[in-house]
Amino acid sequence: MVVGVLALQGDFEAHAGVLIRLGAEPRIVRTPADLEGLDGLVIPGGESTTMTLGIEREGLAEPLRDLVRAGTPTLGTCAGLIMLDRDHLDVLDVRARRNAFGRQVKSFEADVELDGIDGGPLRAVFIRAPGVDECGDDVEVLGEIDGHPIAVSEGNILAVAFHPELTDDGRVHEWLVERIRERTASAEGQAA
C-alpha cells in the first residue's frame, strides 16, 4: 500500500510517520511522476497560497485532480481541506474559508466526535484552521464545532480542518488506509 504525501510545504514528515505506523509505505510527492501507482493520497496542512503556487509551479494541478477524481482515497488536513475545495483543485464540493477560527494566536485543541470514526472523541489540534462555509448535496458533514463543519467526506475523500498528524491518535489516517483496502479488495474481486 503506497500512499503519496504532498510535500510542497507543511508537516508532511509527520503524516509519513503515521502512515508507517499503520503499515503503509509513504511516498513523498513533489512532481507529477511521484503520483504514479499511488493507492492513496494525503494533502497536508501548510499555507494554502504557498501550496497553490507550488502545485502550479510543478504542474501538479491536473494530475492531482485526475488522481482524486479516479476515486483514489484522499485525506486533506487543514490547508489540505482548502486545496481540495471548489476554488482550488475542485474535487470536493465544498467552499472552505481560511482562518475560520482566527489567526495563529487563536489556535486551540479540542476533543471532537466524528461520524464514522469509532472509539470516542479524538483530540484535534486546530492551527489557523479553515472552516467549511458551503457543502454540496453529496458531501457528508462528519463533525462540527459550534455549528461549523470541521470534518467532511465525499466519496473517497475525507477532509478535516485540524492536524491529526500532531497527536498519537491514528484514527483519521486509519480511515484512509481502510478506504484503500476496500478499494483494493473491490478491484481484486472484479478482476477475479
Catalytic annotation, residues = 78, 163, 165
CA angle 160, 6, 35 (to 5 degrees): 120
- Grouping H, G, I as helix, E, B as strand and the rest as coil, residue 7 is coil
Q: Rounded to an integer, what distance in angstroms lies between the CA atom of residue 95 and that of residue 16?
A: 27
Extract the C-alpha cell encoding 75.
485525506
The dihedral region occupied by 116, where left means phi > 0, alpha psi between -120 and 50, and beta the remainder, is left
Adjacent-strand bridge partners of 43: 76
Asked whether 89 and 99 are in contact (CB, 8 A), the reply is no
CA angle 155, 179, 137 (to 5 degrees): 15
